[in-house]
Chains A and B, each alone.
Chain A
Amino acid sequence: MANPLKPLPKNQFDFWQAQHLMVRAGFGGTPEQARALAELGLEKAVSYLVEYESLPSPPAREFDANIMRPPTAEERALQQRAQRDNDEALRAQIQRARQERERGDREQLREIQKWWMQRMIESGRPLEEKLTLFWHGHFATGYRTIEDSFHMVAQNAFLRAHANGNFRTLVHGILRDPAMLEYLDSDENRRRSPNENLARELMELFTLGEGHAYTERDIKEGARALTGWTFRDDAFYFDSAQHDPTSKSILGRSGEFGGDEFADILLAREECSIFICTKLYRFFVNDAPTLTSDDRLAITGLAKTLRTSKYELKPVLTQLFQSAHFYATQNRLAVVKSPMQLIVQAIRSFHCPSRELASLVSAGDLMGQQLLQPPSVKGWDGGRAWINTSTLFVRHNILVYLLTGHRPEQYDWLAASDDFDAMHLVAGLQRTDTPLDPKETVVYLLRFALGAEPRPERVTQLLKFLEGRGNRVDNDRILALLALISAMPEYQLC
């Protein structure tokens, strides 16, 4: 069988391949950006996206680290007094103060959600944000359990800092991450009463995959290796008094292992590289319910690259994004857009206004993807799980909102849709003194918005619409066409 990771012949990397690359290795872009990327050629285009460190980073933003800080000595004394004196009023006062802080923290979380959303929309390093979202789903941690927005944003910064870096660094770092340690109860993993939660998920969800290579006994032993791994305020803390230093036996190896040795034993397994590359493949290439033998061959090749590079991610991403397999017809319209992909791709590719960020965050929630609040430690299932009749209307309607900014109660749309000039999308078709050709426009818009050759039925359907509306092309009609295209079943795919 041919090697599916063989690079795409250089001369085949054109506008449409560049557009596919932008969509998958980021959140899409305008026709102008696709043209610029195509001009770079395959290798430079991929390295532009993957090796983004030299590009300007969006400005940093500070968040309050102290909203949920541990109580001061003074506050602790007050609590003790309320307890000792059975002081009802004081107790109520302390409770109210706590509720006030929790309210402030939830408010900050909403700010962080909006900030990240905006970052995905605006960043000049789209793959950085896309990978951060990937790792957020992989090392899934949810705010509602830990109730500390600063720990969430600190974890987000950690994942971003290593998003295209080294997977081993990510694993070792996440085991020291306060949000994760709290989420998976590591703060309760003590020598005398080990808590297996973190050890189990480290094997099952973060490195090896469920049921791969390990047994329940390995989990118990691994949990002992992680005893005492906890945090104080905003930092990792190794509580040696709670750590079990005696010998452990994990996956057939024995020693007085701590958390780092435990992690390295898992990383040394071939299963780990395959597990991670399967997940990356599902995220970037196709998430159909079953993989073909070609798909599996590609995954095996990527896993080998990951092992050879000692878990460096850039070689894997580069190999993948340069491969002919990545651009193959069977891998177009093969990934169900996540809610974030749907929203951010629409804004970045149509270059429409992003409207109200809070609305976009809420729409994400309704479509099943609330940032910093994945449904469980398993993260988001993705693929078909994104789609049901509950989410489809939200998906359709958020696009109408993005394209027009109009809410349904405001009817007079054709007269007042001037806040988004969509003509730039078809600028490449414009010839001096000739009006835009309806058919040419429809075919181009379909192909651009869907990222694949349009089906003939769709061309006919949209032409029929234009025929009933004077058979000409202007901004309003382009917006109408985009509204219809974005409501097509295939628009949910990329």
Chain B
Amino acid sequence: MQPTPYTRRLFLQQGITLASLLPTIPAFIQRSALGMMPALGMSSIPGIADDRILVVIQLGGGNDGLNTVVPFGFDAYYNARPGIAIPAPDAGRAGNAGALLLDAARGLGLHPNLTGFKELFDAGQMSVVQGVGYPNPNRSHFTSMDIWHTGRTDASGTGWLGRYFDCTCNGTPLPEGSVTIGRTAPLALVGDIQKPVAFESAELFRWTGSDLHPSLSAQYDEVNRAGTLDGVQEDSQLAFLMRTSLDAQLSSDRIRAAVAKQPLVQYPGGALANQLRMIGAMIRDGMKTRVYYASLGGFDTHGGQPGSHGNLMRQLGDAVRAFQNDLRAQGNEQRVMSMVFSEFGRRVKENASNGTDHGTAAPVFVIGANAKPGVVGTHPSLTDLDQGDLKFGTDFRSVYAALLANWMGADSARVLRGEYAPAPVIA
């Protein structure tokens, strides 16, 4: 080959981009993997078992709290929502079912499709915290979600659960400490030290090169499972990479084996149920993960709300019920606590499209065999509003504080960088 002459365009590489018509992201690069480093136990906290697990279920888009926990005892609710209000439990009719009774004295019910939640509530496994929010509410999905994830009203810094690990891990991340099923790692789980394991499908949580030709797998394994090689200095960058490569392979094996097992109970269809099924499988497998993260989107119901919201409520209630049944069948129900939240609720008044616009405070659910059953706090006033929105009664960090201090046994003030009285949600 002729040597390339010295040209002014030595490095110009134009024209090698193959523009695709479909700007979709291939699924296989959207999942990543696991924890890190050789296993190192969490320092145990006196009085709190160190095998407790927190599951966070995020409802993305701003769930309509008023049609989730229905204030059927208040006229103002029906006045504000002539088109989309849920009838009182005894006022339902064909095509417009009444709320499921939650608390007759307070005039509260559940969306009629939340039969799963109703069962859990009646079984004493659910705490409903009313009117959860924060001062000067932000109505941008983006910012408000960041506020919930960071636990800070300026929406800056690391995630609250990432900090939980950072505060307890003595500088070494806990391998597989937190796992999320989804396309990206939620900020809530991202700490300075601890990073979550994130994958969309366990089947793709591995080297995809082996799909190119089966004969590649053997060499890939040889290269990545060696752990170390002769003459590689223990503190070198290469040794570090070799150790991490081996850990990644082991994590991949473990997670894929765990989720490949048939669950002990039947799960319904749908994205959330699928995520919870995988989480159930990993818990059953005895993984050391302390925090799992699942999410369901589609709650931004600006128009035609009753149908779409009803479907989401059905999915949510049925998926969580199946998950709790699974945990019970496994014998793990005492170890697991779940929290269901959304970045904000919606306006009290319905809009002209049979939907609702972005609002503020909304209920949070804490679910588990060790949840303190009942309704916490008072329902925010439907008439004393702030620019048409509910005023919050419980700061969301009080719920976080309860989960951190009373469930995970952590120093909640340190994690949350402030004192918040724990909400009474843990038994």
Contacts and interface: CB of A to CB of B under 8 A. Distances in A.
B214 to A, nearest CB: 10
Given A88-B349, A384-B237, A484 B219 contact: yes
Contacts of A471: none
B241 A413 contact: no
Contact of B219 (A348, A354, A464, A489): A464
Interface stretch (B3-11, B122-130, B268-276): B3-11
B216 A388 contact: no
A353 B17 contact: yes
B11 A455 contact: no
B11 A124 contact: yes
| Band of interface residues on B | 35 or more
Given A121-B13, A428-B1, A408 B211 contact: yes
B388 interface: yes
A353 B215 CA distance: 25
B381 interface: no
Contacts of B204: 408
Interface stretch (A26-34, A264-272, A310-318): A26-34
Given A353-B18, A413-B213, A393 B32 contact: yes
Contacts of A411: 211
A413 B208 CA distance: 12
Interface stretch (B19-27, B47-55, B63-71): B19-27
Interface in A365-396: 365-368, 375-376, 384, 387-394, 396
A55 B184 CA distance: 39
Nearest to A185: B154
Nearest to A347: B16
B34 A396 contact: no
A385 to B, nearest CB: 9
A487 interface: yes
Interface majority SS (helix, strand, loop, mixed), chain B: loop
Given A390-B185, A414-B213, A469-B215, A355 B20 contact: yes
A48 B17 contact: no
B305 interface: no
A389 B209 contact: no
A113 B107 CA distance: 51
Contact of A365 (B140, B184, B216): B184
A461 interface: yes
Contacts of B248: 389, 392-393
Interface string B231-260: 000011110111011011001100000000
Nearest to B196: A390
A273 interface: no
A90 B404 CA distance: 42
Contacts of B142: 102, 106, 144, 147
Contacts of A39: 3, 6
Interface stretch (B98-106, B220-228, B395-403, B418-426): B220-228
B351 A92 contact: yes
Contact of B242 (A118, A365, A489): A489
A493 B242 CA distance: 11
A125 B118 CA distance: 64
Contacts of A225: none
A50 to B, nearest CB: 13
B11 A393 contact: no
A79 interface: no
A359 B25 contact: yes
Contacts of A413: 211-213
B241 to A, nearest CB: 4
Nearest to A29: B11
Contacts of B18: 353-356, 405, 419
A488 B237 CA distance: 13
A141 B114 CA distance: 44
Nearest to B223: A488
B16 A351 contact: yes
Interface string A421-440: 00000011010000000000
| Band of interface residues on A | 35 or more
B341 interface: no
A95 B344 CA distance: 15
A66 B219 CA distance: 54
Contact of B215 (A396, A398, A468, A490): A468
A356 B14 CA distance: 15
Given A91-B388, A353-B18, A484-B216, A40 B6 contact: yes
Interface string B139-177: 110100010000000011100000000000000010100
Interface in A182-223: none
Contacts of B184: 365-366
A32 B4 contact: yes
A183 B156 CA distance: 11
Interface in B170-226: 173, 175, 184-185, 190, 195-198, 204-209, 211-213, 215-216, 218-220, 222-224
A492 interface: yes
A106 B351 CA distance: 26
A388 B349 CA distance: 48
Contacts of B4: 32-33, 35-36
Interface string A473-494: 0000000100110011110110
B10 A99 contact: no
Contact of B35 (A375, A389, A469, A480): A389
B197 A390 contact: yes
Given A390-B36, A464-B219, A396 B17 contact: no
Interface string A126-154: 10000000000000000011010000000
Given A95-B357, A389-B175, 6 more contacts: A347-B13, A389-B35, A392-B33, A407-B28, A469-B215, A480-B216
Pick the 3 closest A-B CB pairs, nearest first: A124-B12, A489-B241, A389-B248
6 contacts: A95-B139, A122-B16, A356-B18, A359-B25, A407-B27, A428-B1
